[in-house]
């Protein structure tokens, strides 16, 4: 990697433009690739893409300047922000994302032609539901609720009620127990009778996780339904938020479900598959969750040393990604380790507690 790429951070650049580039590529972008893209955004490169954004500026002052190309660029930017969320801390993209949403809102308020209005509303809803999730991650519950309301209005305006499914799916991560299960079930009410199988697979996987957490073995059948839906899905072509769903993520859902059910046989197989998706340049947010589940599985079979090793990896990944969700996911591991007095265990628990204190109170 070049000296420029290694010395800069992605939030040193124009995030809306970086999101547009990532959205146009519309393929998996790990942190290394994203840094290289950011490093390539020199003044000369920025000048080459000025014209499209000048058209957007004109459209913001007069809806007559809107055209298909401008709408497509805004849609690509929304996709890009969803992809950036996988590899960047929430604080790094929040301001750029809110700027994007404000521009979409201005265009919607300007009275665009009907053929553009629904598309603008749909991409605004996809962006707002991501902003609600990120605001929660940043411990800003009021802003999160505000963006949730925006996404609901956009879903109604666009006719894409499935946007609400994404919003409620995100909410399910912010609560626990029966409340999490009910949030997932509510999300499923916004699924169409057919199609959108990537979102369907995600919601069924979440339902399986939460049923397993409640000790309900119906989770296994629901997990099989999720796998069937995933077999029909096209995550990279369906919705802005479904790009995250890949074989590694499905393996992580399987791992989490079997860990919660205490199914040691399936945990080993799912754990190996999930681990293979965690490479050196992996997404740290995803890695934090997978490592925490493997840590919990090791503790269940009585291997304290391995449990601590993976819990430490989970903590380090959560710290790197500044992920509230990743830290929350270690709660079960903390409870399992609480009775132990070994020095490495107490040191790990102390570090987890210190990380929580530094992040502040839970946003849930």
Q: Write out the chain in H/E/C secondary structure.
A: CCHHHHHCCHHHCCHHHHHHHHHHHCCCCCHHHHHHHHHCCCHHHHHHCHHHHHHHHHHHHCHHHCCHHHHHHHHHHHHHHHHHHHHCCHHHHHHHHHHHHHHHHHHHHCCCCHHHHHHHHHHHHHHHHHHHHHHHHCCCHHHHHHHHHHHHHHHHHHCCCHHHHHHHHHHHCCCCHHHHHHHHHHHHCCCCCCCCHHHHHHHHHHHHHHHHHCCCCHHHHHHHHHHHHHHHCCHHHHCHHHHHCCHHHHHHHHHHHHHHHCCHHHHHHHHHHHHHCCCCCCCHHHHHHHHHHHHHHHHHCCCHHHHHHHHHHHHHHHHHHCCHHHHHCCHHHHHHHCCCCCHHHHHHHHHHHHHHHHHCCCCC
Q: Mean pLDDT over residues 316-328, rounded?
A: 88
Q: Are 82 and 240 in contact (CB under 8 A)?
A: yes
Highest mean pLDDT among 112-121, 204-213, 296-305: 204-213
Which pLDDT band holds residue 55 (cuts at 50, 70, 90)? very low
Q: Which tokens belong to 271?
A: 């754990």
Is pLDDT at 45 greater than 70 in this prediction? no
pLDDT digits (tens, 9 = 90+) for 27-37: 776 666 666 66
Angle at 31 between CA 25 and CA 34, to 5 degrees: 40
- Amino acid 39: pLDDT: 58
Q: Are 230 and 252 in contact (CB under 8 A)?
A: no
Highest mean pLDDT among 90-99, 167-176, 181-190, 265-274: 181-190
67 against 220, higher pLDDT: 220
Is pLDDT at 43 greater than 50 in this prediction? no
Q: Are 348 and 337 in contact (CB under 8 A)?
A: yes
Cα–Cα distances (Å) from 202 to 165, 174, 315, 329, in that order, read: 10, 16, 25, 18
Which pLDDT band holds residue 65 (cuts at 50, 70, 90)? low
Angle at 12 between CA 10 and CA 14, to 5 degrees: 85
- Amino acid 37: pLDDT: 63
Q: Are 136 and 183 in contact (CB under 8 A)?
A: no
Note the residue count of the chain. 364
- Amino acid 360: pLDDT: 58
Q: Which tokens belong to 184?
A: 């997932």
Residue spans of the domains in the chain: they are 1-160
pLDDT digits (tens, 9 = 90+) for 131-151: 999 999 999 999 999 999 999
Is pLDDT at 282 greater than 80 in this prediction? no
Q: Mean pLDDT over residues 303-323, rounded?
A: 93
Is pLDDT at 319 greater than 70 in this prediction? yes
- Amino acid 1: pLDDT: 45
- Amino acid 40: pLDDT: 57
Q: Are 37 and 6 in contact (CB under 8 A)?
A: no
Q: Are 40 and 85 in contact (CB under 8 A)?
A: no
Is pLDDT at 285 greater than 80 in this prediction? yes
Angle at 130 between CA 129 and CA 132, to 5 degrees: 65
Which pLDDT band holds residue 253 (cuts at 50, 70, 90)? very high
Q: Which tokens belong to 240?
A: 């802005």
* Alpha-carbon torsion (319, 208, 250, 245), positive or negative: negative
Q: Mean pLDDT over residues 348-356, rounded?
A: 94
Instruction: Using alpha carbons, select from 139, 61, 60 the residue that is nearest to residue 103.
Output: 60
Which pLDDT band holds residue 2 (cuts at 50, 70, 90)? very low
pLDDT digits (tens, 9 = 90+) for 169-190: 999 998 999 999 999 999 999 9
120 against 66, higher pLDDT: 120
What's the whole-model pTM score? 0.84
Cα–Cα distances (Å) from 84 to 64, 129, 305, 349, in that order, read: 31, 15, 34, 30
């Amino acid at each position: 990697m070049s000296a420029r790429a290694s010395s800069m951070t992605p939030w040193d650049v124009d995030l809306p433009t970086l999101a547009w580039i990532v959205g146009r590529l519309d393929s998996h972008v790990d942190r290394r690739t994203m840094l290289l893209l950011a490093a390539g955004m020199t003044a000369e490169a920025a000048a080459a893409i000025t014209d499209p954004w000048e058209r957007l500026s004109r459209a913001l002052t007069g809806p007559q300047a809107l055209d298909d190309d401008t709408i497509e660029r805004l849609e690509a930017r929304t996709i890009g922000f969803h992809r950036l969320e996988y590899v960047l801390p929430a604080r790094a993209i929040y301001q750029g994302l809110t700027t994007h949403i404000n521009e979409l809102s201005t265009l919607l308020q300007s009275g665009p032609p009907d053929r553009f209005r629904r598309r603008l509303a749909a991409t605004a809803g996809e962006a707002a539901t991501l902003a609600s999730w990120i605001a929660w991650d940043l411990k800003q519950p009021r802003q999160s609720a505000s963006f949730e309301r925006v996404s609901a209005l956009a879903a109604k305006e666009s006719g894409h009620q499935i946007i609400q499914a994404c919003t409620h799916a995100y909410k399910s991560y912010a609560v626990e127990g029966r409340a999490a299960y009910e949030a997932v079930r509510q999300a499923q009410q916004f699924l169409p009778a057919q199609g959108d199988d990537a979102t369907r697979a995600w919601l069924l996987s979440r339902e399986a996780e939460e049923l397993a957490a409640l000790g309900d073995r119906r989770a296994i059948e629901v997990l099989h339904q999720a796998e069937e839906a995933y077999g029909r899905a096209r995550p990279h072509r369906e919705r802005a938020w479904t790009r995250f769903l890949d074989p590694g993520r499905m393996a992580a859902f399987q791992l989490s479900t079997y860990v919660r059910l205490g199914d040691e046989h399936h945990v080993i197989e799912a754990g190996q598959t999930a681990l293979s998706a965690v490479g050196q340049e992996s997404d740290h947010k995803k890695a934090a969750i997978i490592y925490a589940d493997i840590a919990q599985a090791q503790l269940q079979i009585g291997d304290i040393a391995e449990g601590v090793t993976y819990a430490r990896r989970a903590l380090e990944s959560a710290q790197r990604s500044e992920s509230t969700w990743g830290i929350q996911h270690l709660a079960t591991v903390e409870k399992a380790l609480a009775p132990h007095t070994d020095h490495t265990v107490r040191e790990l628990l102390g570090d987890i507690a210190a990380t929580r204190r530094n992040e502040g109170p839970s946003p849930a």
